[in-house]
Structure 1
C-alpha cells in the first residue's frame, strides 16, 4: 500500500478563506451566531478541517484498483437491488439481505433498524460488528432511525461499506465500527474512508460531479467557488431526501453536523473521480 503524506494544517491565508466560507455556509442554513455554543463549536472545527483538506491527498484514500472494484459493487450489486437507496423500507428487506449474503457469503449479514435516543442518543448514528445472533455468528449492521431519513440512508451505506471492506480486504480482529464523532478523522483510517466512499459513490454519479463542479484547494478568492459547489450538492441532496437544514426544529449543532457530513461526502466523491476516474 503506497504511503501518502498526511494532510497539512492550513496556513493563515487558507484559514481566513475557510472562516469566510464557513460564515457563508452558516448563513445558508440559518444558524445564528448567537446560537453557537460549545457543541456547535466542536462541529465547526470538524467542518473547517474538511473544507481545508485536499481529499485527493488524504493518506487513507483507497487505492485505485480497490476503488474501481467498490464502484462496480455499488453500480451492479447495490443500486440495482436498492432502487430507492436509503429508504427505511429497505433496511429490513429480506430480498436485500439474501442478495448481500449470496454476494458476500458465507459472511451472513443481519440488518437492524431502531429508533434510539437513550444512552448515547443521537450521537450514535449506527454501528457494524460481529455478534452471536441466536445460534449463528453474524455480521450486524445497526442503524438509528431517530435521525432524518437522508442521514439514515448515509449511515446504512457507511456501515454496509464496512461489511464490503471486510469481504474485499479482510476483517479487523474483534472489530466494531461506530458512525459517530468527527468525519475529518476518517481521512487517516482506510476502512472508514472506504465505507464513506460507498456513500459518496451511491449519492453522486460522475455526470453529477461534472455538472455541480469539482472542488479545489482553498486559496485567495476560492471560497466563493467552493461555496457554490457545496451549495449545489446540498440543493441536490436536500431535494432528493427532503432535508431542509434551515428548519428550526433541527438543533444548530445537528444542522452543522449534517452539513459537515454532506460536505465530506461531496468532497470525497470529487476526489474519487479525480484519483480513480470512478
Structure 2
C-alpha cells in the first residue's frame, strides 16, 4: 500500500499529545528521550502535561511537535509502514524531511528549536496579525492585499485548501485587507491566535538566522519525493533544501497545491501524522474522496496497521 505522509503544523498541539504512545512503544520513547538532549526545557513534560502552560509558545511548540512526529514515524517504520512521499504544513516540513532521510530525528528537533527561537525574535516589535479568510478565491484576496499594502506588509501566507486562505503581516494592513475581502465576498475573516506574522516578509530576520545556522548542518538527498511548502511540489535538481527552508519561513505556504500534487503521485492513501486532524480536513476539501487517515494515538496506529495489512 503506497502511502503519503502529511505532517501537521503549529497550532494543532495540545497537552497530553504522545503520552499514550510513550507508554506503549519503545521506539517512540527512544526518540522522545533523545530529543530531550537537544532542547533547554523539559520536552516530555511539556508535551504530556504542560504544567507551565508554555506549549503554545513557538519556541516550545516547534521542538515538541517535531519530536512527537519523529517518534510516531519511528513507530510506524518499525511496523513496516513507511511513506512513498511526504509533505508537511510549515513546521511539519521538517518532519517530512526527516521521514525522507534528509536528517535524523535529533537534528530535526535541534533545527526547529533554533527556528522557533528565531521566529519569536523576528516577531518582536511588530504590531502584527494573521487572519483566516473563508469563502474567497485567491485572485480577489490577492487584490485586497495589494490594495491594503500602503498601510504596511500584508500577504497571503497560507493557501490551505479551497475556500480557506490566511493573510498575515502588519496589523493595520491585515485588518484593511480583511475588510476589503469581505466587500469582495469573503464569508468570514477570523483573527488567528499566533505569536507572529509567520510566512510573510516580516520573518526575513528569521530566514537570515536560519541561513547562517544551516551552514553547520549536513543535508542528505531525500530518498522519497518531498513536496515543499514554498513550491507546492517537489524541488528541481538545482534547488537547495536549505535555501528552500530559508524561503519557507518568510513566504507563502502552498498546502493546497501540495495536496493536489500528492494525489497525482499514484498513492493509495494519505496519512496525517498529528496531533489533530486539520490536514485531513484540507485533503477532504481539496481532493474529495481521496482516502486520508489521521494518526495520533495508539488506537490510530493499530487501526492504520490493520488497514495496511488488509490492503497488502
**TM-score strictly above 0.5:** no
TM-score where L is the length of structure 2: 0.29
Say which structure is richer in strand: 2
TM-score where L is the length of structure 1: 0.31
User: Which structure is richer in relative contact order (CA contacts within 8 A, separation 6 or more)?
Assistant: 1
Say which structure is richer in helix: 1
